[in-house]
Amino acid sequence: MDRNEDLDSALSFVIGRIEEQGKLSGEPLSGEQRLLLDYLPSLAPGTWDPGNPELVPRNINLEQVCALGKAAYQQDRQSNPGSLNWDFAFAVYTLNRHPMDGLLQSAGMKLRRPRWDGLRLIVTALLPIAAVILLVWNTDEGLLWSVGIGSECVAILLLMLFASRRLEKQ
């Protein structure tokens, strides 16, 4: 699927659930709150200076929208714990750096990583090194040839590291 289609479907799901939760609570969203959902404020990273704090007035509408989002998320988790709609929406917002990500974080969502992710990463990084060691032990060519292969493996690993970091930034 297209990233924009994913973002649109995630936005329509979360906004629809927040509106539905507002109706269920007896206080439907006002026009201002609905507009706020469409155009959430975002804080660019690094703009807050703890040495020079600025007083910002409370945004009651944003607080109410966050409370409705939290209530909708908790209700969906209780009624259908196996549903992945909220997880999908959170992943899409995180990937696209959308301001709705902050609203879901205030609702209690956290980015979950697989349990064995770190161990798999370490094993994957050690496999080429083990292959080079086995190659050196079983070769009759000489040390220079083995060092050349080892340096190529290290260069490829570094290239993959820098390429993945660049892809993450994009």
Cα separation of 34 and 65, whole Å? 9
Same domain (yes/no): 62, 134 = no
Check: CB of residue 90 under 8 Å from CB of residue 109: yes
CA 149 to chain centre: 37
Region 22-39 average pLDDT: 86
Are 60 and 20 part of one and the same domain?
Answer: yes
**Domain's final residue, options 86, 106, 126:** 106
C-alpha distance across the termini of the chain, in Å: 18
pLDDT for residue 2: 63
Q: Give the number of domains in the chain.
A: 2
**Predicted TM-score (pTM) of this structure:** 0.61
Q: Is residue 137 within 8 Å of 123, Cβ to Cβ? A: no
Report if residue 23 sits inside a domain: yes
Q: Are residues 145 and 84 in the same domain?
A: no
Is 148 within a domain?
yes
Residue 146 within any structural domain of the chain: yes
Higher pLDDT, 148 or 159: 159
Task: State the burial class of residue 73 (Cβ atoms within 10 Å of its Cβ: 0-12, 13-18, 19+).
Answer: buried
**Structure-model confidence comparison of residues 31 and 150, the more confident one:** 31
Same domain for 78 and 157, yes or no, is no
Structure tokens at 145: 């040839």
Domain boundary, last residue among 52, 79, 106? 106
Whether residues 13 and 47 fall in one domain: yes
Which tens digit of pLDDT belongs to each residue from 44-96?
444 555 566 676 677 888 888 888 989 999 998 899 888 888 888 998 888 88
> Which pLDDT tens digit goes with each residue over 107-144?
888 877 777 777 777 777 777 777 777 766 766 666 67
Last residue of a domain, one of 78, 106, 134: 106
Together in a domain, 17 and 47 = yes
Contact of 93 with 10, CB cutoff 8 Å: yes
Q: Which domain holds residue 46?
A: 3-106
Query: Is residue 152 in a domain?
Result: yes
- Same domain (yes/no): 7, 78: yes
